[in-house]
Structure 1
């Protein structure tokens, strides 16, 4: 499974050639602290790359969750809505935010891979 990262600290994991899962990175949840609320995107809505698709609130701050690439939201993580702390406990697993249908694979291809993202985090911390 291919995972890529955005400069806004979202991850996107390719499920197949047309769908993906999206969440926030370990770095993002570390920076936010204890997550207490998530606002998830609307299922069926098409978002453009970079558009705000949700919100995550913690005891420290609130942050927008951006659409990593253009596409249609197909499912949201209802478990995360019930238990926002999943974003802290397992941000790259059970703490996923939504699934999507990809509109443009070229947008996915230009995102950062793991080594590039780690370098980006180190340089921008």
Structure 2
């Protein structure tokens, strides 16, 4: 499995042609305590860069953008009852949605973990 990041702090873990998408630990730290998450429904087609989910914290609401194009396989239903999973485990249990990739070549425009770490250091 490979993990990639966007400059908007989304991550995607890719296993075959399915990606699991969430926000980075850095992003959840900037947002503060998460109080609500709206994830996309299965079957929704999303283009790379489209708004795919919404996360609300005590500080602000923020859109979560899809790092790739494809069709949503499932949204993380656990976040409806426990949005704080995004704070406590943002890069594992706090994932937002799974998507079937329509163009794996789009991954080439994303950062790997080392490049993302360097990017965050400059912020």
Q: TM-score range by the shorter chain?
A: over 0.9
Indicate the residue corresponding to 2:105 in structure 1.
106
* Partner Cα distance (2:75, 2:68) in 1: 16
In structure 1, the residue corresponding to 2:106 is in which secondary structure? helix
Deviation at 1:121, TM superposition (A): 1.1
Structure 2: runs of 5 or more not aligned: none
Indicate the residue corresponding to 2:11 in structure 1.
11
Indicate the residue corresponding to 1:2 in structure 2.
2
Structure 1 vs Structure 2 CA RMSD: 0.7
Q: Deviations over 1:22-56 (max 9, x none)?
A: 00100000000000000111210110000000100
Structure 1: runs of 5 or more not aligned: none
Deviation at 1:21, TM superposition (A): 0.4
1:39-54 maps to which residues of 2 (within 5 A)? 39-54=38-53
* Partner Cα distance (1:82, 1:71) in 2: 26
Provide the aligned length of Structure 1 versus Structure 2. Answer: 123
